[in-house]
Amino acid sequence: MEREIQKHLSKVCIEVAKENGWPNSPEVMVSYPKEKRFGDYSTNVAFLWGKAMKLPPREVAQKVVERVDHPDIEIIRVDGPGFINLTMSLGWWHKGLREVLSQKEGYGSSSLGRGERVQVEFVSANPTGPLHIGHARGAAVGDTLSRLLEKAGYSVEREYYVNDGGLQMRILGQSLLARCKEVMGVPVEFPEDGYKGGYIVELAKKALQELPDVMDLPEDEAAAKLSRWGAEEILNGIKEDLELFNVDFDNWFSEASLYESGAVEEAVRELERKGLIYEAEDALWFASSRFGDDKDRVVRRSGGAYTYLAADIAYHRNKAERGFTKLIDVWGADHHGYIPRVRAALEALGYDPEILKVLLIQLVNLLRQGKPVAMTTRGGQFVTLREVVEEVGKDAVRFMLLTRKCDAHLDFDLELAKEQSEENPVFYVQYAHARICSIRRTAEERGMSLPEDWERVDLSPLTLEEEKEIIKKLTAFTGMIEGAARSLEPHRITYYLHELAALFHGYYNRNRVLLDDEGLRNARLALSEGVAIVLREGLRLLGVSAPTSM
């Protein structure tokens, strides 16, 4: 809706520019004034334009206002130092609600992305242990961001990068081997840097059953076999956990495949051809500092093995080759030092480094009764994602993890989350939806006939100020989606939904929907239906359910 106003004003500005011989105006932005007395929409274009031309903003605003001619604009005037404020007709808002009712769950979709191909890579936890609560945040953010971008018109592919190559796999194999021996009663010294979690013991027991002759192999082979088998087992567990958490991936990309296909070697060779690789101290270095990195980085160790970075270079090269125009990596904030390296590599390989957007997720501080819980995968002391979801519930966990911007630290207190589970904002939003469904059920119970076609309900009985406010909020949904998609800020959805739910709860407490007056009743039912549609769609983006009763 505000889009239409924005277009109209832009058109007017072009006319005004032509008429007065002015340069074209800056982009017109329509916003919602905080105070009602200023009207429904507002723009500050006169300030920006006036500044560019060194003319008083009020004068510029006046010229624009005189030219505006739109049937749904009831009042337009210049306020304060030069704001242009608009008040819309009732019919305009009724039209807005009708749009929601006719587009249903498609409402809020936008063509902002124009089908641009975007890849979102997230979670990407090593297959050396189950997902813990720290991974949950990245999972929730990455998944909702993907849904959000799709809603905003991008063509999105979700990918999980499986770190199944290199050192960690060896450690996994050795850890499993040691536990297998223990289970068999063979005294053994557990590897110092091995994974100490209890899940390794469980896995070892299972391995002895499923791979009965593994212990007959020479140690190296046994460890390698256990490593491969274990990684697959763990990865399957991860997939189950993610499913439980309502997170889907289109693609599972194996790091090992980059070595097997020679992609890593090839990427390094290409850098070499460009003269960006040199040898020093028996190692191969990538001259990343020529592209803004602090210093050069080793890509092949003196022992001959490639570094993790080398694989990452090959991986990002592969992504770019697949034709994505935007690559979004969701990383833990402790990896931030990696950004300049990967960007440097992309640039060195001839790609625009700006196609890579990295979303840094600050770590979750897991607390239990106010006390921090130490969490290390190797130490084996952690609370798994599965445990938290089982304790607190998928909906509440997802919602809570999405109510903060990603670059802010997040305290997640298990006891508090459980205790507060009835005070959790997620229930507030879900309750609004359940309430609307309940109104409908009651109407049916009372034998009131529901409108067959919501689109055709006469909305003119909706004349209350608060009804208009609700519709205004509904019509702001699309703009919110676009803003959140543009800035990669999925948390905006949770705040929007909370505000919409609050408007509806207030309205519900002050007004009755199921009245004898059929016209008014149906109009209010239609309004409720509109709210339900947007709540449902917003919750879907969050991966949270919209219950019909609570």
Partner RNA sequence: GCGCCUGUAGCUCAGUAGGAUAGAGCAGCGGACUUCUAAUCCGCUGGUCGGGGGUUCGAAUCCUCCCAGGCGCGCCA
Candidate ranges 142-150, 166-174, 347-355, 529-537; the one touching RNA (CB under 7 A): 166-174
Strand ranges in 163-240 using DSSP code E only, listed in sequence order: none
Does residue number 535 form part of the binding site for RNA (CB under 7 A)? no
Q: Where are the alpha helices (DSSP H) in 292-369?
A: 308-321, 339-348
Nearer Cβ to RNA (83/454): 83
**Residue 451 binds to RNA (criterion: CB under 7 A):** no
* Interaction of residue 190 with RNA, rule CB under 7 A: no
Q: Are 195 and 177 in contact (CB under 8 A)?
A: no
Q: Which residues pair with 327 in a beta bridge?
A: 119, 356
The radius of gyration of the chain's CA atoms, rounded to the nearest angstrom, is 29
Mask for 353-372, x = binds RNA (CB under 7 A): -------x-xx---------
Residue from 27, 210, 243, 266 binding RNA (CB under 7 A): 27
Half-sphere exposure of 269 (CA within 13 A, CB side): 5
Looking at residues 498 to 527 of the shown chain, list those that interact with RNA (rule: CB under 7 A).
Answer: 498, 502, 505-506, 508-514
| Single-letter amino acid code for the residue at 44 | N
When binding is defined by CB under 7 A, the residue of 121, 293, 395, 489 that contacts RNA is 489
Query: Which listed residue (104, 357, 492, 536) binds RNA by CB under 7 A?
Result: 492
| Segment lying near RNA (by CB under 7 A), choices 172-180, 183-191, 279-287, 450-458 | 279-287
Residue 435 as a binder of RNA (CB under 7 A): the answer is: yes
CB of 298 to RNA, least distance (A): 4
Could you tell me if 291 and 339 are in contact, meaning their C-beta atoms sit under 8 angstroms apart? no
Considering the rule CB under 7 A, would residue 549 count as an interface residue with RNA?
Answer: yes
Contacting residue, 25, 85, 175, 254, with RNA by CB under 7 A? 85
Q: Which helix (DSSP H) or strand (DSSP E) does residue 403 occupy?
A: none
Alpha-carbon distance 493 to 501, whole Å? 12
E strand segments, 356-486: 356-361, 364-368, 371-372, 410-413
For position 153 contacting RNA by CB under 7 A, the verdict is no
Question: Integer distance in angstroms from the first to the last C-alpha of the chain?
Answer: 33
Size of the site for RNA (CB under 7 A): 91
The answer to whether the Cα torsion of 162, 163, 164, 165 is positive or negative is positive
Single-letter code of the amino acid located at 68: V
State how far the Cα of 402 lies from the Cα of 244, in Å rounded to an integer.
Answer: 17
To RNA, the closest distance from the beta carbon of 447 in angstroms equals 14
Comparing CB distances to RNA, the nearer of 215 and 437 is 437
The footprint of RNA on residues 114-143 (CB under 7 A) is: 126
Among 354, 411, 444, 518, binds RNA (CB under 7 A): 411
From 13-21, 180-188, 486-494, 533-541, span contacting RNA (CB under 7 A)? 486-494
Q: Is 439 in the site for RNA (CB under 7 A)?
A: yes
The footprint of RNA on residues 231-260 (CB under 7 A) is: none
Residues paired with 77 in a beta bridge: 85
Among 265, 375, 431, 540, binds RNA (CB under 7 A): 431
Task: Candidates 91-99, 184-192, 278-286, 368-376: pick the segment binding RNA (CB under 7 A).
Answer: 278-286
Exposure string of 53-65, with b = 16+ CB inside 10 Å and e = fewer, is eeeebbebbbbbb
Q: Do residues 521 and 448 lie in contact, with contact meaning Cβ atoms separated by under 8 Å? A: yes
Output 119 or 126, the one with its CB closest to RNA. Answer: 126
Min CB(34)–RNA separation in Å: 5
Residue whose C-alpha is closest to residue 525's, from 441, 469, 430: 441
User: Restricting to residues 302-341, which ones interact with RNA according to CB under 7 A?
Assistant: 302-303, 305, 307-309, 333-338
